[in-house]
Amino acid sequence: MFKLLPDNAATTVTVMVNGKTVSVPQGFTAAAAMLLQGNGATRTSALSGEGRAPYCMMGVCFECLMDINGEPNQQGCLVTVTEGMRINAQHGKRMVAE
């Protein structure tokens, strides 16, 4: 569904997406990294439990909330990947970080 432009893949970083080690182009967002791996859902609905996926990719819709490096409720479309980043889908209601 998504294709990389040839010069976007020159430099990559290694991240963990839902526990799987993957290489993604430097400059990608966490949401794009998850979509690139075929994981459409970045979170689940608090009411129905259905998977929700990034919609606007610019920080307006909040459909891309995910757990990044152990911090819940991060808008994955606004967070640029870094080496060793841990990106996980968020399940259920938004969580309050302690």
Whether residue 23 is contained in a domain is answered as: yes
Judge whether 92 and 67 are in contact, CB under 8 Å: no
Name residue 16's beta-bridge partners: 21, 86
Nearest to 1 by CA among 31, 30, 40: 40
Q: Is residue 94 situated within a structural domain?
A: no
Token digits of residue 86: 């841990």
The reported pTM is 0.80
Indicate whether 21 belongs to any domain.
yes
Whether 16 is covered by a domain: the verdict is yes
Which residue range is the domain that position 34 belongs to? Answer: 8-89
Per-residue model confidence (pLDDT) at position 2: 63
HEC letters along the chain: CCCCCHHHHCCEEEEEECCEEEEEECCCEHHHHHHHCCCCCCEECCCCCCEECCCCCCCCCCCCEEEECCEEEEEHHHCECCCCCEEEEECCCCCCCC
**Report for 8-22, 38-52, 76-90: range of highest mean pLDDT:** 76-90
- pLDDT computed for residue 96 by the predictor: 58
The mean pLDDT value for 45-53 works out to 82
Domains contained in the chain, number: 1
Residue 29 maps to a domain: yes
Write down the pLDDT at residue 33.
93
Q: What is the mean pLDDT of residues 74-88?
A: 96
Is the residue at 2 inside a domain? no
Confidence (pLDDT) at 53: 86
CATH of the domain at 70: 3.10.20.440
